[in-house]
Amino acid sequence: MAVAETLVWAAVYYSFPALLLEWERDLGWSKTELSGAFTLALVMSALLAPLVGRIIDRGYGPRVFTGCALAGAGLLVLLAGVTTPWQFYVVWLGLGVAMAGMLYEACFAVLTRAMGSRRKQAITIVTLVAGFAGTLAFPGAHALVGLVGWRGTMRVLAAIVALVAGPLIWFGSHTAERHGDGQAPAASHRATDLALTLRSPTFWLLALGFVAIALDHGVLLTHLLPLLDERSMPSGTAVLAASMIGPMQVAGRLAMIATERHVSTLHIFAACFIAMGIAAMSLLEASAYPVLLISFVLFQGAGYGVTSIMRPVVIAELLGHKNFGLIAGLLAVPFLGAAAAAPTVAAFIWRAGGYDTVIRFAVGASGLGLIALLGAARLSTRIVD
């Protein structure tokens, strides 16, 4: 499942920022027009997240997980043939449906349900490996475009998802359910259970914190190549910087593993927001001091990488395991919604005030997220260990 997640993230999600400049040059559409399609895809993914979570709670995780991956492969083939904006938008709308069932939210729900007390270990292993998705996507797409063009690149990515990731997802998710130690609580159908969750201040503060994570990372990552291009960074340096965020995610997760016995979950999660704030401030000064680009890559990659593990773990610890798929799906709505809005938000902020303003926006988002997290932990009736 770790290898499969690496491939689907690289092929579907990271293909957008990796090919954004190529599409702009070849198709002649603006960054705002192109970003709108990705926004639409992430909105659709967000809207379907609670439904996918409920389906996984009822034991159909392997089917929805595998089916969405194979559907995503077919849609990548269609993306290779688009010639008009409306076709581009329709295909990305379909990819949004597929992403709802094949990216981290669905994967973590399957693992949490199947692996029980070993869920954190399982999620950590998946995210350690999948942290290299961006590392594969940026240089890989850059090399493939030089060989077969961006349309050929999409077909290659589709084949990888269909022939490698799909079978691995099917085998991995079934194996997890057969051999995991999970004793998942029965999914509740009572509206009162959902109402209690939705009335919880902890739920809404977590939602706000997750929104901050998505906005911070989304506005910077999806526009990183044009942002660095505006700062006259060589294209090779920009691609290298984008590619290294993945390994830094892995480095952050390894650091978390080394320290988690001595540092609380809350402190680790808080450190993620602080790291992302430092990263954005480093990027703001990188044009004057290029060495700060290293600081950005290190802190952004490590900080955001650990949040991928912390989000499902903190949800389970603060809000419980019952109906985890549904609750995680509900919290995925604002998270993915913010991730969906981030490329377009960044494009509009850039148009109004340039990329310096975009970076300052990311700094503010990381600070807001830290405040929301601390508030959620303080108001929770559970203990974050």
C-alpha distances in Å from residue 133, one per residue of 100, 104, 188, 284: 18, 12, 35, 25
Assess if residue 373 is contained within a domain.
Answer: yes
pLDDT higher than threshold 70 for residue 19: yes
Percentage, residues of the chain above pLDDT 90: 36
Assess if residue 185 is contained within a domain.
Answer: no
Assess if residue 277 is contained within a domain.
Answer: yes
Assess if residue 90 is contained within a domain.
Answer: yes
Q: What are phi and psi of 354, to 5 degrees?
A: 85, 175
Assess if residue 249 is contained within a domain.
Answer: yes
Residue 381: the pLDDT is 60
Q: What is the CATH number of the domain that holds 133?
A: 1.20.1250.20
DSSP for 59-95, written as a single string: T-HHHHHHHHHHHHHHHHHHHTT--SHHHHHHHHHHH
Assess if residue 186 is contained within a domain.
Answer: no
| pLDDT tens readout for residues 286-331 | 877 888 889 999 999 999 989 988 888 888 788 876 777 788 888 8
| pLDDT tens readout for residues 121-163 | 888 888 888 878 877 888 898 899 999 999 999 999 999 999 9
- What is the rounded CA–CA span in Å between residue 346 and residue 223? 7
| Average pLDDT of the residues of the chain | 86
Assess if residue 321 is contained within a domain.
Answer: yes
Scan for tokens 């913010």, then name that residue.
Answer: 338
Domain count within the chain = 1
Q: How far is CA 59 from the centre of its chain?
A: 24
Domain limits for position 26: 2-180+191-379
